[in-house]
């Protein structure tokens, strides 16, 4: 790539900001703060394997410093990089019980899952940070929980950072989805995937270990994805076990990811505010769709911070098909929604 072709994430954010002449720059800078936090977390994630090889895990490394768990480190990095900037009045993290106060003057609230897919951390398998930004609803003073409890449809921006074979930041402000790849030699995210649109589906992603606990509708739907019945697509399966990595794979390769409710966990495992709504926002911006199986996840009015919802996300026609199977087999035609 010639230098003239390079677009850094900062240039891209500034270019986007020019479309809003009244913008103060706060929002642009907030996105840039997140990109900076991402670089700090990426450095630590990349070192983690090495730390293991060198036998430095445990409470202290050779310098006598505390070695933090990666998810704790990522959580603290996101908080520290955003709390005193004056851009956010508060944050909500999947790792924290309650909201985290920041600068009362901030116009935005930041919601994040600092390290999604944490069961993969010890095995060098892709993990990621998911983030979402809302405008605060309260007018002054400290932010309140209602500032965070907004439907996904109201998001100002959402995105994720994937720590995989390379580090990528993918985001949307509601005007398409853009992907940037971190070039470690220059220490900057460079535009690598402009205006992402999901291709035709090839994959489905689900944890099959829960098959016996799924409803009839979900079982029949997964059978259909595998090739049973009329017009069945006969897809290949891929399941990484990090929602952010499974979502990313399907975003670029085409497919559907799901974490349905089951007899043990009627609302599934994934959290509306930290995982489902941000990725649902991105899916829709890339031409896809995200549903609980009964309704669009972006239309749900959250009632509490750590609310869980079942999710089917990715290729639009495959998600609509999931809704049809569930409608036909599980609800007896009723629209009652446990979410």
Q: Looking at the chain, which runs of residues are DSSP E strands?
A: 88-93, 100-101, 108-116, 127-135, 157-163, 167-172, 177-183, 188-193, 203-205, 236-237, 255-259, 289-291, 311-314
Kindly state whether residue 269 participates in binding ligand AHM, applying the rule CB under 6 A. Answer: yes
> Which parts of 76-115 interact with Mg ion (CB under 5 A)?
113
CB 241 to ligand AHM: min, Å = 5
Residues 111-140 that bind Mg ion (CB under 5 A): 113, 116
- CB 267 to ligand AHM: min, Å: 13
Report in angstroms how near the CB of residue 258 gets to ligand AHM at its nearest.
10
Residue 201: which residues within 8 A CB-CB, separation 6 or more?
Answer: 233, 235, 250, 254, 255, 256, 314, 315, 317, 318
Work out what residue 295 binds among Mg ion, ligand AHM, none; the CB cut-off runs from 5 to 8 Å by kind: none
CA-based end-to-end distance of the chain: 48
Q: Is 259 helix (H, G, I), strand (E, B) or coil?
A: strand
**Mask: binding to ligand AHM, 81-110, rule CB under 6 A, as x and -?**
-------------x----------------
Residue 101 and residue 124 in contact, taking contact as beta carbons nearer than 8 Å: no
CA 192 to CA 284: how far, in whole Å? Answer: 20
Nearest approach in angstroms of CB 14 to ligand AHM is 32
- Under the criterion CB under 6 A, does residue 276 sit at the interface with ligand AHM? no
**242 touches which of Mg ion, ligand AHM, none (CB within 5 to 8 A by kind)?**
ligand AHM
CA dist 127 and 244 (Å) reads 7
Measured from the CB atom, the residue of 7 and 125 that comes closer to ligand AHM is 125
CA distance 157 to 88: 13
266 lies in the binding site for ligand AHM (CB under 6 A): no
Q: Is 117 in the site for ligand AHM (CB under 6 A)?
A: yes
Other Cβ atoms less than 10 A from the Cβ of 39: the count is 18
Taking a C-beta distance cutoff of 8 angstroms, is the pair 297, 245 a contact? no
Task: Specify the DSSP class assigned to residue 330.
Answer: T
Tell me if 126 sits within 8 A of 240, measured CB to CB: yes
CB of 269 to ligand AHM, least distance (A): 6
Q: Which residue lies nearer to Mg ion by CB, 83 or 113?
A: 113
Q: Distance between CA atoms of 172 and 195, rounded to whole angstroms?
A: 9
Euclidean distance between CA atoms 72 and 231, whole angstroms: 46
Choose the one of ligand AHM, Mg ion, none that binds residue 319, judging by a C-beta under 5 to 8 angstroms depending on kind. Answer: none
Judged by CB under 6 A, how many residues of this single chain contact ligand AHM? 12
Subset of 231-260 contacting ligand AHM (CB under 6 A): 241-243, 259
Cβ 35 to ligand AHM shortest distance, Å: 21
Distance between CA atoms of residues 82 and 34, nearest Å: 8
CB of 162 to Mg ion, least distance (A): 13
**Binding site partner of 107, from Mg ion, ligand AHM, none, Cβ cut-off 5-8 A by kind:** none
Query: Which is closer to Mg ion, CB of 116 or CB of 246?
Result: 116
CB of 269 to Mg ion, least distance (A): 9
Interface with ligand AHM (CB under 6 A): 94, 113, 116-119, 207, 241-243, 259, 269
Interface with Mg ion (CB under 5 A): 113, 116
């Amino acid at each position: 790539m010639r230098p003239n072709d390079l677009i850094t994430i900062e240039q891209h954010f500034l270019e986007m900001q020019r479309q809003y002449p009244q913008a103060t720059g706060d929002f642009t800078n907030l996105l840039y703060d997140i990109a900076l936090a991402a670089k700090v977390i990426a450095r630590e994630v990349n070192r983690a394997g090495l730390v293991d090889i060198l036998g430095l895990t445990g409470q202290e490394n050779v310098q006598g410093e505390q070695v933090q768990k990666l998810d704790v480190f990522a959580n603290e990095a996101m908080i520290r990089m955003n709390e005193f900037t004056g851009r956010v009045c508060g944050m909500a993290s999947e790792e924290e019980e309650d909201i985290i106060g920041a600068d009362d003057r901030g116009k935005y609230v930041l919601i994040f899952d600092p390290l999604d897919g944490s069961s993969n951390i010890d095995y060098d398998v892709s993990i990621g940070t998911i983030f979402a930004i809302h405008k605060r609803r309260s007018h002054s003073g400290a932010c309140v929980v209602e500032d965070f409890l907004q439907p996904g449809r109201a998001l100002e921006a959402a995105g994720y950072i994937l720590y995989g074979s390379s580090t990528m930041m993918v985001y949307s402000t509601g005007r398409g989805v853009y992907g940037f790849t971190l070039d470690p030699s220059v220490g900057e995210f460079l535009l690598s995937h402009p205006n992402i649109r999901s291709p035709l589906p090839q994959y489905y992603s689900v944890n099959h270990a829960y098959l016996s606990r799924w409803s009839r509708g979900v079982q029949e739907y997964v059978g259909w994805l595998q090739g049973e019945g009329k017009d069945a697509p006969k897809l290949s399966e891929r399941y990484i076990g990090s929602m952010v990595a499974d979502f990313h794979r399907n975003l670029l390769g085409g497919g559907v990811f799901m974490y349905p409710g089951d007899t043990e966990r009627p609302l599934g495992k994934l959290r509306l505010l930290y995982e489902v709504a941000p990725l649902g926002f991105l899916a829709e911006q890339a031409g896809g769709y995200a549903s609980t199986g009964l309704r669009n996840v972006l239309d749900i009015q959250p009632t509490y911070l750590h609310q869980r919802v079942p999710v089917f996300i990715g290729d639009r026609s495959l998600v609509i098909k999931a809704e049809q199977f569930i409608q036909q087999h599980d609800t007896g035609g009723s629209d009652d929604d446990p979410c």
